[in-house]
Amino acid sequence: MNTPSDTPTPELSAGEQELAQASTSLVDTDTWVDPELAALCRGSAADGTVLLSNDGTLPLAARTRVALFSRVQVDYFTVGYGSGGDVNAPYSWNLLDALRDGGRVDVDAELADLYTQWSKDHQPDEGTWGNWPRYFDEMPLERETVRAAASRTDVAVVIIGRAAGEARENTLEPGSYYLTDDERTLLDSVTGEFERTVVILDCGNVIDLAWLEGYGEKISSVLYAWQGGMEGARAVADVLTGAQVPGGRLTDTIARHYEDYPSAPNFGGLEHNVYAEDIYVGYRYFETFAPEKVLFPFGFGLSYTTLEVAPTVETTDADVTVTATVTNTGSDHPGAEVVQVYVQAPDGLLGKPARSLVGFTKSSRLAPGESETVTVTVPVDSLASYDDAGVTGHRSAYVLEAGEYTVYVGTDVRTAAAVATVTVDATRVVQQLAEANAPEAEHAFQRMTVGRDADGQAVVAWQDVPTRQASRKDRIEARELHTVEQTGDQGITLADVAAGTATLDAFVAQLSDDELEALTRGDRVMGSELGVPGNAGVFAGISESLRAKGVPPVTTTDGPSGIRLSAYASLLPCGAALAATWNTPLVRRLAASHGQEMVRKGTHVLLSPGMNIHRDPLCGRNFEYFSEDPLVTGLVAAAVIGGVQEAGVAACPKHFAANNQETNRNLNDSRVSERALREIYLRGFQIAIAESAPRTIMTSYNKINGVWSHYNDELCTQVLRDEWGFEGTVVTDWWMQHATDPDFPAVTDDAYRVRAQVDVFMPGGWFDHVSGEFDQVAQASLLDSLARPDGIALGELQRTARTVLNLTLGLPVLRERVESLSAAGRQDA
């Protein structure tokens, strides 16, 4: 086990800390962790492990003699790199210590000592920001050493470890997506000497597994462990020994070869990426066009027992209700099953994938012979597709095309069986919307769609992507603003608003231009002195005058895998591990306990969950995100958000939107059809907002069809607020790009952002990468624009102020602070 003293915080310069969001040195050295939170971490990490193959070797019987191979048994990957993983964990377990501590199997001491000493003598280089190692070099091992270990033990366990991270993709190289020569040599030696070999994949991303077919029955069992945080190795030990069962199911398709993924030709571009595969992401592509290219299908995962799913279906004009009885038909082990519901929609004029996940639920853990009945209800309207071209006669609308919608139920996308058909007699509009974020004509491209050959088989066809027709300028000029006349300080505090003795409008009317400007940004730096040490940034009450009026500073911290402060905090299972549980009640309980830790640590907004789509397996931050599927993404994210906000603090889902690669992420343009945006890349956010009402949301770094998300009015106003009804605060990812509104030249930078209703620029200071200093001239652009008749309007700043102040009023964790600041302000006055 790694103790705090074994894992010093890396030393970085102030500039590196500011730009890299790197953890600062420890100030608070309290290592206490709530036992309930630790148990939930361990349990959820186990529930997310995916058993890909098993000949009966797992679970290991009591007192099985086990030989552990690979240095990763000692140098275990607990999480990926960057803001989603750089947490000061009070401890973390490795697999060697976890198996020994469990005491259920006998780990070969001679081999373990050899690896431990070699690892100690060859400490891995942890790298620097954006240059972390993706793997660790293996210890050279003579075949005779392997043979000797085989003579002493019953089973070999080989661990393959990988990590990626923020600003650092996986690559198509050995030691990243592919095995290294040393790893292949190790596997050859072990499988050549042992009758039973178990492979553990300690990875945050999907990696190449085509090599498994070459080994065939020489590899007895394969367990995708993901990266389970500080308790992850203990969770894997629990699963290996049968104390827990592998409860996970894949949330991504594992293809035979990287080149088989539909995104492969259009991933990693420096300037832009064309999302030519359109809605055919992951299993939507494979099940439609290339089922033979799949090694392990979406939704797949084995158990230690046999689980039978017996569904019945009832349909009405409004809903499809699947009732399934799950029975553990085995005799030796408990198990839980995920009941997955898919629909095949008619091709129609729009073209549809062969399968789309429309609902799921997970049974409880069932003892042998035990049964449970579960229910999944799917609204028929949710089966609609978005027509961005007008081919159905209803442009910019969700449409249910006429035809038969076949319902499939099963335990993965491939084995799900047809159980019912819903007939739509005539095409109907489910929701009429307006064009938003369509590609520009100068960046037009062709997108994938469904064609049919002479035998009626689906083949890839191509069509021109619909391009922009709407005028953004006209829509903004038609927008009505609620403006209140500035009154100067009237002695109203925010506590008066909270108590109902004054209106929020009356409070906002008091605010000067400088105070309004301050509410639109953070305190310029990470590690603000207004928040707990090591914070990611602070906003709201960042000026003395605002605090005197009762506005509290709001502290933000990363992130998806733990609270990143100058303090010890729990390191949670990564997002990919949590999603693989398909167990939203468990994820919510974990998040609720994590929210309580936030309260104890003094932070208010957790920059989590990360919920971008796994468009391509090489994306460096896939470990933070959940799935290639938007429904899984949205429902798991909703569980995280709901749990965190139970504690009276806020969750901040990110990165909104289409942030699907790390390469040149600050400048890269995601060129994507409006249909794919709405059905794939925005859908998860829409679900999470509808289900759990997050108090904040974070924009992404990238452009979407030529417009940076932090300036994107169509994304952050038209879609997010007007269509989805989001009422919370929108914050930027840390730092932005300079830009001028193309329709309103007097509106630049922060004014451009505020016009789009991106409320808060974080951390708040424009950083000059050349001088290494903050650019105060750029900071003044908002007030300069306000002073111009053709610039930003007072009502737009006041609108942002109301949004930010409503956040401070709505967070229970801040209520006492509002009262104390207001009382102090009255006394000073």
Q: Which helix (H) or strand (E) holds 377?
A: strand 371-379
Q: Hey, what are 641's tokens?
A: 């958000």
Point out which residues pair with 442 in neighbouring strands: none
Are 662 and 168 in contact, with CB atoms under 8 Å apart? yes
Lookup result for tokens 């064309």? 274
Q: What is the DSSP letter of 574?
A: P
Q: CA-CA distances (angstroms) from residue 131 to 298, 457, 528?
A: 31, 46, 26
| Rounded Cα–Cα distance for residues 730 and 761 (Å) | 9
356 — phi, psi (to 5°)?
-135, 130
| Rounded Cα–Cα distance for residues 268 and 169 (Å) | 9
Question: CA 4, 9, 12 angle in degrees (round to 5)?
Answer: 175
376 — phi, psi (to 5°)?
-125, 125
Are 586 and 47 in contact, with CB atoms under 8 Å apart? yes
Q: Comparing C-alpha atoms, which of 728, 730, 653, 737 is closest to residue 701? A: 737
| Rounded Cα–Cα distance for residues 480 and 475 (Å) | 10
| Rounded Cα–Cα distance for residues 725 and 627 (Å) | 25
Tell me the residue length of the chain: 829
| Rounded Cα–Cα distance for residues 384 and 394 (Å) | 12
Are 287 and 42 in contact, with CB atoms under 8 Å apart? no
| Rounded Cα–Cα distance for residues 170 and 162 (Å) | 9
Classify the C-alpha dihedral 716-720-722-728 as positive or negative.
negative
Q: What is the DSSP letter of 680?
A: I
Classify the C-alpha dihedral 557-558-559-561 as positive or negative.
negative
Chain centroid to CA 94: how far? Answer: 25
Q: Comparing C-alpha atoms, which of 296, 252, 250 is closest to residue 48? A: 250
Q: What is the DSSP letter of 740?
A: B
- Residue 768 bears catalytic tag: no
Q: Comparing C-alpha atoms, which of 326, 329, 362, 358 is closest to residue 341? A: 358
| Rounded Cα–Cα distance for residues 395 and 453 (Å) | 28
Cβ burial, residue 73 (10 Å; 0-12/13-18/19+): buried
Classify the C-alpha dihedral 421-427-428-433 as positive or negative.
positive
3-class state of residue 518 by DSSP: helix
Query: Which residue type does 500 have?
Result: G
3-class state of residue 779 by DSSP: helix
| Rounded Cα–Cα distance for residues 479 and 476 (Å) | 5
| Rounded Cα–Cα distance for residues 86 and 261 (Å) | 30
Q: Comparing C-alpha atoms, which of 437, 399, 469, 433 is closest to residue 724? A: 433
Query: Which residue type does 235 have?
Result: A
Catalytic residue among 733, 741, 749, 750, which? 733
Check whether the bond before 710 is cis (ω within 30° of 0). Answer: no
Q: Which helix (H) or strand (E) holds 645?
A: helix 630-646
Q: Which residues are catalytic?
A: 733
